[in-house]
Amino acid sequence: MSLRLLDSGGARPGSSVLDAGGGAATLVDELLVRGMTDVTVLDLSEAALAAARRRLGERAMAAHWMARDLLTWAPLRRYDFWHDRAVFHFLTDPADRDRYRRVLDAALGPRGQAVIGTFGEDGPESCSGLPTVRYGGQALAEQFPGFRVEQAELEQHRTPSGGWQTFTWVRLSRAGAAATALAPAPAPRPGSLY
């Protein structure tokens, strides 16, 4: 679903993609296979990032890796695409959702798009011992004022234990909203940890 929504948004080899909360997930693998050269994976867990780098081997040098708390991160550059599969639904405190939106606004370019996946309305109320917020398509879109819904989808996701979870996905664009001023910065050297 992540790749399909990025493709729908026009992601190309020259596009910059931030995978927010990407950890050990395999999206980075697929993006690198597609020839993307500006992929950044941000996660709170250095161990999860290390697992992804080990899995990729030498190919890991083609991506950028950031061990950071998303909610306190101050982006130094802008991205064409923001991807988040399953971070936003862990933000049960409205103040944390506000911080998330501020970071998203600062990190996403003026014509950027965000692909966000959360537990659906009938998804689990907790995951890995943490409470979650569940969203339908409209409720999730309403969390991002100033963005236009380009696509909304439901996905039945098979869990590692064999069960099923509903995910709600949206692809959002800035819809002409004014972006927060941020001086452009060059992309970091591939393979860097910053």
Domain residue spans of the chain: 2-173
DSSP 8-state code for residue 172 = E
The whole-chain average pLDDT of the chain stands at 90
175 in the Ramachandran plot: left (φ > 0), alpha (ψ -120 to 50) or beta? left
Tell me: pLDDT of 140 over 80: yes
Please tell me the predicted confidence (pLDDT) of residue 176.
59
pTM comes to 0.88
Instruction: Determine how many CB atoms are found less than 10 A away from the CB of residue 54.
Output: 10
Q: Which fold has domain 2-173?
A: Rossmann fold (3.40.50)
What is the residue type of 108?
L
Residues 145-171: b if buried by 16+ CB within 10 A, e if exposed: eebebbbbeeeebeeeeeeebbbbbbb
Kindly list the distances between the CA atom of residue 186 and the CA atoms of 94, 105, 192, in Å, as whole numbers in the listed order. Answer: 33, 18, 13
Q: What would you report as the CA-atom Rg of the chain, rounded to the nearest whole angstrom?
A: 16
189 vs 69, higher pLDDT: 69
Grouping H, G, I as helix, E, B as strand and the rest as coil, residue 32 is helix
Kindly list the distances between the CA atom of residue 120 and the CA atoms of 74, 116, 153, 168, in Å, as whole numbers in the listed order. Answer: 29, 12, 10, 5
Tell me: pLDDT of 126 over 50: yes
